[in-house]
């Protein structure tokens, strides 16, 4: 849950009360959907390429290492680029680079080269990094400061819609059971990624011709320090982003193989892909709940909307699990999620801590139990992951003023946790087994609980 207080971005828009910013916000929201979709397709490609190249878990996790490693290398330069060319041009540049990365999967599949695949992942992520640095602050600025938190949560909910759709799409298009030769397996990725590239280029063209509100530098008497890292809450927030993304990506990356274990569920890859979609769909449900909770809607209407999202959660679980009884079981976790929001009392830091503790409990049940219980508690983690990224991001850049774009670059750079932690988890899976390897995520969420309780506080 993003901060309910005004977000100080260090920039200001031409915001005027009564002006309709919804068209611009809707256009920006498409970006969040697309990079969520592309990022989550990695969870489908991981088991696909693992089988194609006959690799162990450590080698397979080089996919996430390369993809999220790009965030580390590109995010700070991206922040400086956006400062020079502006948010709109930064978005167009990011979309174009991401499209080029998607096109690289065609030669990779023709050559059946793991190195070329990894190069494609790197270029894809480089473009997405520029999009992240451009779009996150832009959304927080685009409208009333008092409703910035709700806007960030809504766009993050659309990001989760992309992550929910991607595993189902990828499972149908890429994880085909009737393909045997390596040549045919490799070529399964061509259609989806060419389609993604064309879509990205079309969106870039729309942004080029679109008229978006101007963002100008805030006139401030303060002096921008040469060291952005002097802000304690930003540094600790970067660590929180590091471990959060690392844990979230690790869980998603190992789910298909984990659910295929005989002592868990023994599912096929295509069957497990639907449950991976429910994991990411839980984040979407939680973010919709967060956006509603932080809105200025009347309480009676807010409760009706929460009830509507709850019904949506049931039908989503029913569709993906293909079982009404299992969907009803999932609703227990949804209700616990709603109670956790109530305990948070609209306090971003408190809600973050409550959600992190909830995930520690869920992952503990996954690690120390077998069967459907271990499977469903892991799926339920997605519900509580929902508000973590936007909440940590907003708390981390709070009060940075003119340094917000660079602070945003630091936080986006910390997404490199998605490169490091899955690689560590892969090594653990190869040594102590995939089941116990989830212990690494407990450490990650324990730190997030600390950040929500203490680490977020600004030191003046």
Helices (H), 142-268: 148-173, 182-187, 190-209, 232-259
Four-point Cα dihedral 161, 280, 269, 254, nearest 10:
140
Find the mean pLDDT for residues 310-323: 91
Give the residue from 267, 281, 387, 260 showing the smallest Cα distance to 330: 281
Per-residue model confidence as pLDDT tens digits over 193-225? 999 999 999 999 999 988 777 665 444 433 445
In this structure, what DSSP letter does residue 213 have?
A: -
CB 91 within 8 A of CB 133: no
State percent of the chain over pLDDT 70: 88
Per-residue model confidence as pLDDT tens digits over 146-201? 666 667 767 776 777 888 899 888 888 887 666 678 888 888 889 999 999 999 99
Residue that is written with structure tokens 């709603």 in the block: 338
Residue that is written with structure tokens 């695949």 in the block: 117
Mean predicted lDDT score pLDDT of the chain: 85
For residue 257, give both structure tokens.
Answer: 């193989």
For residue 243, give both structure tokens.
Answer: 């471990």
Find the mean pLDDT for residues 230-252: 93
Can you tell me the distance from the alpha carbon of 440 to that of 349, in angstroms, rounded to the nearest whole number? Answer: 23
Domain segments of the chain: what residues?
15-216+229-455
For residue 70, give both structure tokens.
Answer: 């790009």
Domain 15-216+229-455 grouped into CATH 1.20.1250.20: yes
CB 438 within 8 A of CB 251: yes
Four-point Cα dihedral 354, 357, 358, 360, nearest 10:
160
Find the mean pLDDT for residues 270-293: 85
pLDDT(334) > 80: yes
For residue 221, give both structure tokens.
Answer: 């008497």
Instruction: Give the pLDDT score at 223.
Output: 42
φ and ψ at 314, to 5 degrees?
A: -65, -50
Give the residue from 403, 290, 411 showing the smallest Cα distance to 354: 290
Give the residue from 383, 395, 391 showing the smallest Cα distance to 340: 383
Instruction: Give the pLDDT score at 218.
Output: 45
Q: How confident is the model at residue 255 (pLDDT cuts 50, 70, 90)?
A: very high
Helices (H), 11-104: 22-53, 57-60, 62-85, 87-103
Give the residue from 159, 166, 140 showing the smallest Cα distance to 385: 159
CB 124 within 8 A of CB 67: yes
Find the mean pLDDT for residues 323-332: 89
CB 357 within 8 A of CB 452: no
> How far, in whole angstroms, is CA 357 from its chain's centroid?
19
């Amino acid at each position: 849950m993003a901060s309910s207080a005004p977000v100080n971005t260090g920039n200001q828009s031409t915001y005027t009360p009564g002006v309709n910013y919804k068209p611009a916000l809707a256009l920006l929201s498409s970006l969040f959907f697309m990079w969520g979709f592309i990022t989550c397709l990695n969870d489908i490609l991981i088991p696909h390429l693992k089988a194609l190249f006959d690799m162990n878990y450590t080698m397979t996790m080089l996919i996430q290492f390369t993809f999220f490693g790009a965030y580390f290398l590109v995010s700070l330069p991206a922040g400086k680029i956006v400062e020079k060319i502006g948010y709109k041009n930064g978005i167009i540049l990011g979309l174009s680079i991401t499209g080029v990365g998607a096109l690289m999967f065609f030669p990779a599949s023709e050559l059946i080269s793991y190195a070329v695949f990894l190069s494609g992942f790197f270029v894809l992520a480089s473009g997405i990094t520029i999009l992240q640095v451009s779009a996150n602050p832009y959304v927080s600025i685009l409208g009333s400061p008092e409703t910035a938190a709700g806007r960030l949560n809504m766009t993050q909910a659309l990001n989760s819609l992309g992550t929910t759709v991607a595993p189902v799409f990828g499972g149908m298009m890429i994880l085909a059971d009737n393909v045997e030769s390596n040549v045919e397996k490799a070529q399964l990725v061509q259609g989806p990624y060419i389609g993604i590239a064309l879509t990205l280029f079309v969106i870039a063209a729309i942004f080029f011709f679109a008229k978006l509100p101007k963002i100008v530098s805030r006139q401030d008497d303060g002096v921008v320090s040469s060291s952005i890292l002097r802000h304690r809450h930003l540094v600790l927030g970067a660590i929180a982003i590091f471990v959060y993304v690392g844990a979230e990506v690790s869980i998603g990356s190992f789910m298909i193989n984990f659910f295929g274990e005989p002592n868990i569920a023994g599912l096929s890859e295509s069957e497990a892909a639907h449950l991976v979609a429910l994991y990411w769909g839980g984040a979407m449900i939680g973010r919709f709940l967060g956006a509603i909770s932080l809105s200025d809607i009347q309480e009676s209407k807010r409760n009706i909307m929460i009830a509507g999202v709850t019904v949506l959660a049931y039908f989503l679980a029913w569709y993906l699990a293909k079982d009404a009884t299992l969907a009803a079981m999932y609703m227990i976790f949804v209700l616990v999620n709603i109670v956790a929001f109530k305990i948070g009392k609209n306090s971003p830091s408190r809600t973050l801590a409550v959600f992190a503790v909830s995930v520690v409990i869920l992952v503990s049940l996954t690690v120390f139990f077998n069967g459907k219980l271990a499977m469903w508690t892991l799926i339920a983690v997605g519900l509580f992951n929902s508000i973590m990224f936007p909440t940590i991001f907003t708390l981390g850049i709070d009060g940075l003023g003119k340094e917000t774009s660079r602070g945003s670059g630091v936080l986006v750079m910390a997404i490199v946790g998605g490169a490091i932690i899955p690689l560590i988890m892969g090594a653990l899976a190869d040594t102590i087994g995939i089941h116990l390897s989830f212990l690494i995520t407990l450490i990650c969420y324990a730190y997030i609980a600390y950040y929500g309780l203490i680490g977020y506080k600004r030191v003046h």
